[in-house]
């Protein structure tokens, strides 16, 4: 019998009363490995109530004890690293090595949360006026919510709830219904690390569950990672209900290739960054902009892509796995056909990809287009698959203008041997995350994940110092202690004396 994924409410695994069940399938075989319920309205309410009740005691726990919980948790995550990676591979189709990276990048954020005492320090100024001191402190918000996508079922939940809980909040997680087994295992390990009941709740479901979390009076902060359309809905609905929201949305990431770059590095890095994780990551390089004579390397990039072979998670020779579901695969195939119909030159076509032994897998082979114009759908839309577009310009200035004209601003990179060109690029480009001779510039957790423009809705970004600001409120205290009972008279102004 296929297992039904439980909810997590107040520390207990709860079988949902819902009869609305969504199949969780292995994308390489279409085998149904679990069923995930759409939680009922009453179950979501119970989860929020449990988190609200737990907050009252958790906010009083010392910051040192919160940090020690995170220390125990990161230790357990490392112990179970490969187990978690195998779960990811089974429900997303990722290769084992790619899945291990998913887990590790999440662990790094938990390690950062262990520094919560230093990260939460306020500011103090003595004698802002005579014998009056002013200082700021940070305090938690309450019940925070995370809504996460399918493509990183370990990393992105670990971006959210460890930082929120380390700040003194409690958390309700609504993971993707396409791969809920990994977040459930993360929660089990969190409880094993000693997390009190009620700190972390998990509810499953679709739009109805999300909207209930977005509009509930007791959820002051919402974190979301996903598509542009859903990100806009999350941001507008959340802010309309007076919540603080961080919504990470779509991307169209460009890599600029200068003719003075190291060719072998360019070829290998473009190939890996464009089709890695089957192109299903918001920081994938989907557009390569070849400047001047660098356009002569396009055939070599195509040849490198052609050598990358998709395959099953346990195939050590596989470069990447399948798309998450048949609908995602068909969407990519539709874009490939639209590119051909629009007159783009498809110099490598992965539409008919077949993986031996897995005839039902959601496979798309590496695909590359040349002679693309910026009004084509394959350039304008986020394809979210192993499809690379090659554009050609004459100057660095043209490349910068091209990228800045694109509505997205998640990530970009540049390969060059010129420090001056790199300095110009990183200064003038209107993108939040920039790589210089680094293809996928996802920052480590001491910094923050800083998408710009249409790639992000909100003010404070994920992890790093900005996460602490997002998950806390600042209180400023102005204090004076009288030494003598001296009559200074009535002061009717706002001046401090």
Catalytic residues, by residue number, are: 282
The rounded distance, in Å, linking the Cα atoms of 42 and 58 is 24
Residue reference for tokens 């790093």 = 464
CA angle 191, 197, 198 (to 5 degrees): 115
Residue for token pair 């040192």: 64
272: which 2 tokens? Answer: 């890996």
Q: For 181-296, where are the alpha helices, taking DSSP H only? A: 181-192, 207-215, 228-240, 263-275
Based on the number of CB atoms within 10 Å of its own CB, is 6 exposed (0-12), middle (13-18) or buried (19 or more)? Answer: middle
d(C-alpha 163, C-alpha 169), whole Å:
9
Backbone angles phi, psi at 305, to 5 degrees: -65, -40
18 touches 35 (CB < 8 A): no
CB-based burial, 7-20: b 16+ in 10 Å, e otherwise: bbbbbeebebebee
Do residues 148 and 183 touch, judged by C-beta distance below 8 A? yes
SS3 169: coil
Residues of the chain by 3-state class (helix, strand, coil), percent to 5: 40, 25, 40
Report whether 241 contacts 202 (CB < 8 A). no
Residue 138 and residue 164: Cα distance in Å, rounded? 13
Residue with tokens 């802010």, as numbered in its chain: 239
| Strand 244-248 to 456-458 pairing | antiparallel
**What are the start-end ranges of the H helices in 383-486?**
396-405, 419-428, 464-470
Please say whether the beta carbons of 154 and 180 come within 8 A.
no
Whole-angstrom Cα distance, residue 265 to residue 294? 13
CA dist., res. 334 & res. 53, Å (int): 49
Phi and psi, residue 100, nearest 5°: -65, -35
């Amino acid at each position: 019998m296929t297992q039904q994924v439980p909810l997590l409410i107040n520390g207990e695994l709860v079988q949902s009363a819902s009869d609305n069940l969504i199949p969780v399938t292995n994308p390489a075989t279409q085998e149904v490995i679990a069923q995930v319920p759409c939680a009922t309205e009453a179950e979501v309410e119970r989860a929020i109530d449990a988190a609200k009740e737990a907050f009252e005691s958790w906010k009083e726990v010392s910051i040192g004890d919160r940090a020690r919980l995170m220390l125990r948790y990161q230790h357990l995550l490392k112990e179970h690293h490969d187990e978690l990676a195998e779960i990811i591979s089974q429900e997303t189709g990722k290769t084992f090595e790619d899945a291990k990276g998913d887990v590790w990048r999440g662990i790094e954020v938990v390690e950062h949360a262990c520094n919560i005492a230093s990260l939460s320090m306020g500011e103090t100024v003595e004698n802002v006026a005579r014998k009056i001191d002013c200082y700021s402190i940070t305090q938690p918000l309450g019940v925070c919510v995370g809504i996460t996508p399918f493509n990183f079922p370990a990393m992105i939940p670990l971006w959210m709830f460890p930082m929120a809980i380390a700040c003194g909040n409690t958390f309700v997680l609504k993971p993707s219904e396409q791969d809920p087994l990994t977040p459930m295992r993360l929660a089990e390990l969190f409880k094993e690390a000693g997390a009190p009941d009620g700190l972390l709740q998990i509810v499953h479901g679709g739009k109805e569950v999300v909207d209930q979390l977005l509009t509930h009076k007791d959820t002051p902060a919402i974190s979301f990672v996903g598509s542009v359309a859903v990100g806009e809905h999350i941001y507008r609905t959340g802010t309309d209900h007076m919540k603080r929201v961080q919504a990470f949305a779509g991307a169209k990431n460009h890599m600029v290739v200068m003719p003075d770059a190291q060719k072998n590095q360019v070829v290998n890095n473009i190939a890996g960054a464009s089709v890695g994780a089957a192109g299903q990551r918001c920081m994938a390089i989907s557009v390569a902009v070849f400047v001047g004579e660098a356009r002569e390397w396009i055939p070599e990039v195509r040849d490198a892509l052609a050598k990358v072979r998709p395959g099953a998670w346990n195939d050590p020779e596989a470069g990447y796995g399948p798309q998450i579901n048949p609908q995602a695969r068909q969407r990519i195939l539709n874009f490939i056909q639209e590119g051909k119909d629009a007159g783009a030159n498809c110099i490598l076509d992965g539409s008919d990809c077949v993986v031996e032994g897995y005839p039902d897998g959601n496979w798309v082979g590496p695909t590359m287009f040349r002679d693309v114009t910026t009004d084509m759908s394959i350039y304008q839309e986020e394809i979210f698959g192993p499809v690379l577009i090659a554009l050609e310009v004459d100057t660095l200035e043209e490349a910068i203008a091209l990228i800045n004209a694109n509505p997205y601003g998640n990530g970009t990179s540049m390969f060059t041997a010129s420090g001056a060109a790199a300095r110009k690029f990183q200064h003038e480009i209107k993108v939040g995350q920039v790589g210089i001779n680094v293809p996928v510039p996802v920052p480590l957790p001491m910094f923050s994940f800083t998408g710009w423009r249409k790639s992000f809705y909100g003010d404070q970004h994920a992890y790093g110092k900005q996460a602490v600001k997002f998950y806390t409120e600042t209180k400023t205290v102005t204090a004076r202690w009288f030494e003598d009972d001296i009559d200074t008279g009535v002061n009717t102004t706002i001046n401090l004396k």
